[in-house]
Amino acid sequence: MSGIKSLADELRDSMRKGKPPQAKEIPLAEPPKDTPKKKTENLERLFENILSHELTGREKLLIRLDDKTLFLLKQLKVTKGIDMNKIISYSLHQFLKNHPELTRYIKEHIKTLDL
């Protein structure tokens, strides 16, 4: 609390003297030095997983994407050679894998449907 009070006192003094208050630099905590390397490794692993994902189905779907997402997918095709169909298939596969409750829900409700 004393740091705040002394800061307020300095501000009052500088205002009385007609000088603008001097900004003090506050040291920022440095991020760990290995963070960019880890991010790069994780990103490269993700790219490898997407590229190794096989498109095995024959069924085609028409989907709608917003302009920003479509632009990003096009840029990914140019920079990494990853086809839009492959990344969408991989993403959906991962989504369903990470949310097995969705698959269970569908299976349970199919049992109750009268066809």
Domain that includes residue 89, residue range? 84-114
Residue 99 belongs to a domain: yes
Residue 58 belongs to a domain: no
Total count of domains within the chain:
1
Write out pLDDT tens, residues 92-115.
Answer: 999 999 999 999 999 888 877 665
Say if pTM beats, i.e. exceeds, 0.75. Answer: no
Residue 89 belongs to a domain: yes
Contact criterion met (CB below 8 Å) for 10 and 43: no
Confidence of residue 79 (pLDDT cuts 50, 70, 90): very high
